A = this chain, B = another copy of it.
Amino acid sequence: MSDNYRWILGLDIGGTNVVVGLVPLEGGEALGLRRLPTLPDGGGEDVVRRAAAAAEDCLADVLGADAGRRSEVAGIGIGAPGPLDRESGILLEAPNLGWRDFPLQGLVSEALDLPATLDNDANCATYGEWWMGAGRGSEILVGLTLGTGIGGGFVMNGEIHHGASDAASEFGHMTIDSTGRKCKCGNYGCLEAYASGPNIAARAVEGIEAGVESILTDLVDGDLEKLTAATVYDGVVQGDPYAHEVMKETAKFLGVGVANLINALNPDAIVIAGGVTRAGDHLFGPLLKEVRRRAFRSAVEACRIVPATLPETAGVIGAAGIFKKETFGFV
């Protein structure tokens, strides 16, 4: 490792936002953070161009105007929604972005004249929590990221489990009810069909449309299309019984998924990320209860189930950590 290297860029490309930041080589907070809308419909090249400009802004912000300091940056780690091929750095298919066979890693590397690595965004988030967040010290870490979809990651002894075709840890598409709710992926009963943000909202709306009275209706001025998972959270904070019920059911569904992961992988930690974790005990209370009911006691006792501590930057920090690991062999 060159003694000169002091930084790694982390770039987290999501369906909604792109975030970029500069991470100290030895680990730490992401500095000079830039956040921009992804606007994927403009095409991958346009996103790369704007992301690279944001990365330049970030570098100028943290390192100042001295161009010589650019040599302190070892490279850039990129996280993006899969499926992707890590070896070639190509996004194979990204349903949330609408691109196919897009050579993301090469284009970013070229635009910034820096070496780059590419990994799945949920792997990056889990790795970030393992390196610098709620998963520190864990030897067998499972990460769950609840958002538009549900992503997952599995880090063992500091190594991401990628699987045979870079497709591992799709925990959102674990069937928990084989004849249950239809999922966006086309199947029935995936965890994601119950506990992703849009599905939390959809379940809440279904009850209201069936006649339940709730403050949630008022919170969206009667326009149920505006109801989101965040609305449910607001309803919980305001003490609405129906919002509590929806949250509790969400927690139970998540508990089934978490119990499955505990019975299968026997991890020492599970880190749960996403806006819904703001509900705190309203989520984690019934979730733990369901986990204790369904998972083996010794496995439950061996596992701490905790909220993420880097909700905004785990992806950036993890992408940078993966670059470091792949380039230098350790973090």
Chain A residues in the interface with B (C-beta under 8 A): 83, 92, 139-140, 152, 154, 156, 161-171, 173-180, 187, 189, 252-253, 256, 259-261, 263-268, 293-296, 298-299, 301-303
A-B contact pairs, 25 of them (CB 8 A): A83-B296, A140-B164, A154-B264, A163-B267, A163-B302, A164-B266, A164-B267, A165-B266, A165-B298, A166-B298, A167-B296, A168-B264, A168-B265, A168-B266, A170-B263, A173-B296, A175-B294, A176-B177, A177-B178, A177-B180, A177-B189, A178-B253, A187-B293, A187-B294, A264-B264
A93 nearest CB across to chain B (Å)? 9
Q: Lowest 4 CB-CB distances: which A-B pairs, in order?
A: A163-B266, A168-B266, A165-B302, A164-B268
In whole angstroms, how far apart are the Cα atoms of A173 and B300 in the complex? 14
A166 nearest CB across to chain B (Å)? 8
Are the C-beta atoms of B92 and A298 separated by less than 8 Å?
Answer: yes
A288 nearest CB across to chain B (Å)? 15
A110 nearest CB across to chain B (Å)? 26
In whole angstroms, how far apart are the Cα atoms of A296 and B180 in the complex? 19
Point out which of A152, A176, A259, A267 has the most chain B C-beta atoms below 10 A from its C-beta. A176
A180 nearest CB across to chain B (Å)? 8
In whole angstroms, how far apart are the Cα atoms of A122 and B301 in the complex? 22
Please indicate the chain B residues that have their CB under 8 angstroms from the CB of A260 in the complex. Answer: 174-175, 260
Are the C-beta atoms of B266 and A301 separated by less than 8 Å?
Answer: no
